[in-house]
Amino acid sequence: MLSTDKSSSLVRSIVLGAAGYSGAELAVILARNPYFELVGAYASAGRAAEPFSSLYPRYKQQLDIMVQPWTDELAAGLNGKVDVAFLALPHEASEAVTPLLLAQGIDVVDLSGAFRLKQPQLYPQYYGYEHQHPELLAEAVYSLMEWQSTPLPRLISVPGCYPTACTLALLPLLKAGLVADNCIPVINATSGVSGAGRKAALSTSFCEVGLNAYGFFKHRHRPEIEQNLARKVVFTPHLGNFKRGILATSVVTLKAGVSAEQVKQAFNSAYNGKPLVRLVSHSPNVADVAGTPYCDIHWQQDGEQLVVVSAIDNLLKGAAAQAMQAANVRFGKPETAGLFAGVSHE
């Protein structure tokens, strides 16, 4: 049953995948966003219904909405009752349910990778399945909001966590034409274990994780980063022994004669007036962004070599907060509505 506690003038929203970390963050953000109403929360079909605060006890007496099992048959009953659905689902599940929701007049904000890549032939190689709705790839808009200049459509594809940190770090330099033409950016990025999701697995058990690289040359976020930057990259992700956050270190070669002032101007010009990017005077720390919707960026230059370090919370700026940021803009609300105070479920 859909919750109807608030005024129907608000943007009526549901979250599919509300039991997982990113979906849970979204539910909390939506519940406190004064312009949105969380009218339904859903988890996979095999789960029994239970209160959200049973899944995340810190929200008892704060967010007690029931998390219901989702089945595709429910979509038809949402027509006229829901304005937007946030999908925090596995890639194939998001791809399958999106056309059903769009057919009911419901906007979709998808946090999976189902609609991020514009070339359907890349999905078997990087995601392990054939894309069943390639026509939607052209319709979906990739919502890296600091670089979004066109109106958002009914289908919004939220960037991945690693691509968010890396693209925000490097795009100002590329757009300003400061990077050498033959430069292949080298990116090393470390994520906390929450990036692997809530499902138990030995390889991501906190007591088993130290610090290790993985996904050499084949990680699914590599083509997404290359699509954003319009050039090849060497991207190596790492798994670190901390809960949440991403620290990305990106190295590029600048064109001959590029000055420190030009680099500074590129970043200032790109992010002036962008409330969720902070250009900091020290090397970023994941502890400073954990539980926040910010991306912190710092750089150091040595001649033609430039190192850019960026830090985000993978569950917020890398997922839920960025989804909310896009939905706020889509529905004409303040861009940062709902994004501050009490966002962490640690």
Q: Tell me the catalytic residues.
A: 161
**Pairing of the two strands 186-191 and 246-253:** antiparallel
Helix crossing, 221-229 with 161-175: angle to 10°?
20
Among the listed residues 19, 13, 56, the one whose alpha carbon sits nearest the alpha carbon of residue 35: 13
Hey, is 239 helix, strand or coil?
A: strand
Burial class (CB in 10 A: 0-12, 13-18, 19+), 51: middle
β partners of residue 190: 238, 247
Hey, is 30 helix, strand or coil?
A: helix
Among the listed residues 2, 153, 133, the one whose alpha carbon sits nearest the alpha carbon of residue 67: 2
DSSP element (H, E) containing 277: strand 277-279
* Token reading at 146: 């600091």
Task: Please compute Rg for the chain using Cα positions.
Answer: 20
β partners of residue 307: 251, 300
Backbone angles phi, psi at 57, to 5 degrees: -60, -25
Cβ partners under 8 Å of residue 231, min gap 6: 174, 183, 184, 185
- CA 271, CA 232: separation in Å to the nearest integer? 24
* Residue 131 one-letter amino acid: H
* CB-CB contact of 224 with 163 (8 Å): yes
